[in-house]
Amino acid sequence: MRISITSLLFLLFTTLIFSQNKPAYKLYNENGGKVSYKKMINKMKKADVVLFGEHHNNPIVHWLQYETTVDLNKSRKLTLGAEMFEADNQQELNDYLSGKITQKVFDTVARLWKNYPTDYKPLVDFAKKNKIKFIATNIPRSFASNVYKGGFESLDSLTLEEKSWSAPLPIKYDANLPGYVKMMKMMGGHGGDNLPKAQAIKDATMAYFIIKNRENDKLFIHYNGSYHSDDFEAIFWYLKQEDPNLKIVTVSVVESKNVKKFDKEKKGKADFIIVVPETMTKTY
């Protein structure tokens, strides 16, 4: 009897401890099954491209991006790229990586996001330390703004140099892709047909620079807002249009009240889905 009571007390104690545990995140696969970090890394090792989606202000995802990059670098040669750097700033990024300019100068000559110091600098500095190429993949923001105002035609008047900072014209575009349709619905039609086009020019340009800078013996890790690769659309779609045989692994992020319970409506969002507490502190 004493053994059974002891066992019961132990069970109650461990259950209480487990219920008090507050994990910072949980990792799930495309179908909503729990998966280990190691399994995600092993699948990424076999890919040509990883599209690591993020919520721009979520510290857990930024930490995981960094740790994933460090671990993948142990077994694969890497090229890094990010939405957060616009193509016309590639030279400034190269100059910082090569040591030609200091961080202070880089802060002045490049258009860096306000959360660069906390969220992206660690990745850039890791690339600098390990002599890894880092590609500025996004179209200049002003060009995307012009598409929003005047459609793809607004890009026709760009100079040859300016056109080199975008995916080649004319842009392939499918207005019926669910992500673009959803965007229109969310905005209630405000912005007209050009709203998803402004998104598409970013997706197409990021895919273009990934393809342009990808090397067969290297894994290209790209960091982008999750909406740029969710549901195997956007950047993913453009990559597959260019090379259907590319092996691409996608990552997305979902905020939830309970990270231990997967929302079935989020199935199919990405190969790997990071569920983080909705109360997690934001970086801005």
Domain limits for position 269: 25-277
For residue 94, being part of any structural domain is answered with yes
On the question of pLDDT at 207 being above 70, the answer is yes
What percentage of residues in the chain have a pLDDT greater than 70? Answer: 92
pLDDT at 7: 56
For residue 8, being part of any structural domain is answered with no
For residue 12, being part of any structural domain is answered with no
- What's the chain's average pLDDT? 93
DSSP state of 262: -
For residue 2, being part of any structural domain is answered with no
Q: How far apart are CA 79 and CA 50, in angstroms?
A: 10
Residue 210 sits in a domain of what CATH number? Answer: 3.40.50.11550
Q: 13-38, pLDDT tens digit by residue?
A: 454 444 567 899 999 999 999 999 99
For residue 10, being part of any structural domain is answered with no
pTM of the model: 0.91
In order, the DSSP letters of 36-90 are -HHHHHHHHHT-SEEEEEE-TT-HHHHHHHHHHHHHHTTTSEEEEEEEEEEGGGH
Task: State the CB neighbour count (10 A cutoff) for residue 66.
Answer: 16
Q: 25-80, pLDDT tens digit by residue?
A: 999 999 999 999 999 999 999 999 999 999 999 999 999 999 999 999 999 999 99
Q: How far apart are CA 227 and CA 203, in angstroms?
A: 10
Token couple for 284: 């801005």
Alpha-helical regions (H) of 169-283: 178-186, 194-213, 235-242
For residue 55, being part of any structural domain is answered with yes
Report residue 247: phi and psi, to 5°: -95, 110
In the chain, the number of structural domains is 1
Burial level of 177, CB count in 10 A (0-12/13-18/19+)? middle
For residue 113, being part of any structural domain is answered with yes
Give CA separation, 83 vs 109, 112, 190, 232, in Å: 18, 11, 25, 17
For residue 18, being part of any structural domain is answered with no
